Amino acid sequence: MKLFEGKKGLILGVANDRSIAWAVAKEILDQGGTCGFSHLPDKPEDEKRKNRMRVSKCVDSYPNQTAFLEPLDVQDDVQVTEFMKMAGEKLGKIDFLLHSIAFADRDDLSRDTVETSRAGFKLAMDVSVYSLISVTNAARPFFNSNASVLTMTYFGGEKCVPGYNVMGICKAALDATVRYLANDLGPQSYRVNAVSAGPLKTLAGVAAGVGEMQDYYGYVAPLGRCVTHEEVGRSGAYLLSGYSGGITGEILHVDAGYNIMGSPGRLLYEFKKPS
């Protein structure tokens, strides 16, 4: 029997086939699960509906396991409520919920944190943090027993990662939100966790210069490399499965061990090499 056979849930935040959310979703689908997907709403003038098309290219390979693909604006409370009602109607009970949603204005990301605009701070926090609270609360009436919620975080919320700026503050708040939601929902046997992945080449990651970070991880991380989409996907699926039944409120680092290091590790030897 496959790990997710007979299980149904929601995948929120797939942008394209390089998304971390898709890596997790693909593992769930390969393990027999049925998923409902959201996508970013397309602008009315976008006749090609590019946001929907990118996600559709992913899920088209699993027609019998894709319950629906619908737009969702997590800043709109009415949309969130209606989306979850629709999910309940089409899926019945929800066994798992993946939240992989974050956003900050490019101008705020590119400037020093001290110069973050008030409007940009509110926007980043609303989309990247409050949305986890919002979608979890709206989905809660449809949760099956022992339902699991997972979000995606990053080490920049624990330590300062230059260039991550306001998003690092958002991830710190997201990490705290995981713990408080885990406490709130624990009595109902619902679990809430997060995966903290190493840098991967996603749509957002490439724009942030993730390639240089991957090289750096190759020197510093104990495994001497960065992680893969598949490794993060399997770890995320694990936290959404019954195999992790005793785990809640945790941040699982899938980063080749980078987070344990207190020094630049092997990179020190590179500096010491004779010229």
Among residues 164, 190, 238, 258, the one annotated as catalytic is 164
Which of 213, 217, 193 shows the shortest CA–CA distance to 202? 213
pLDDT tens-digit readout, 145-180: 999 999 999 999 999 998 899 999 999 999 999 999
Residues 62, 154, 190, 216: which is the catalytic one? 154
Given a contact cutoff of 8 angstroms between Cβ atoms, the answer to whether 84 and 139 are in contact is yes
Told to judge if 216 belongs to the known catalytic residues of this protein, a careful annotator would answer: no
Q: Has residue 201 got a pLDDT over 70?
A: yes
| Arithmetic mean of pLDDT over the chain | 93
pLDDT of residue 87: 98
Q: For the structural domain made of 8-272, what CATH number should be given?
A: 3.40.50.720
pLDDT of residue 169: 97
CA distance 83 to 53: 19
Q: What does the pLDDT look like over 228-274, one tens digit per residue?
A: 999 999 999 999 999 999 999 999 999 999 999 998 877 776 666 65
Distance CA 90, CA 68 (A): 8
Note the pTM of the prediction, 2 decimals: 0.94
Residue 145: burial class (beta carbons within 10 Å; 0-12, 13-18, 19+): exposed
Note the pLDDT tens digit of each residue in 12-69.
999 999 999 999 999 999 999 999 999 999 988 887 899 999 999 999 999 999 999 9
Q: Check if the beta carbon of residue 3 is closer than 8 Å to that of residue 32.
A: yes
Give the model's confidence band at 205: pLDDT under 50 very low, under 70 low, under 90 confident, else very high: low
pLDDT for res 210 = 62
74 by DSSP, 3-state: which?
Answer: coil
pLDDT digits (tens, 9 = 90+) for 80-110: 999 999 999 999 999 999 999 999 999 999 9
d(CA 138, CA 118): 28
Residue 154 annotated to the active site: yes
Confidence (pLDDT) at 265: 75
Kindly list the distances between the CA atom of residue 71 and the CA atoms of 2, 156, 172, in Å, as whole numbers in the listed order: 29, 29, 27
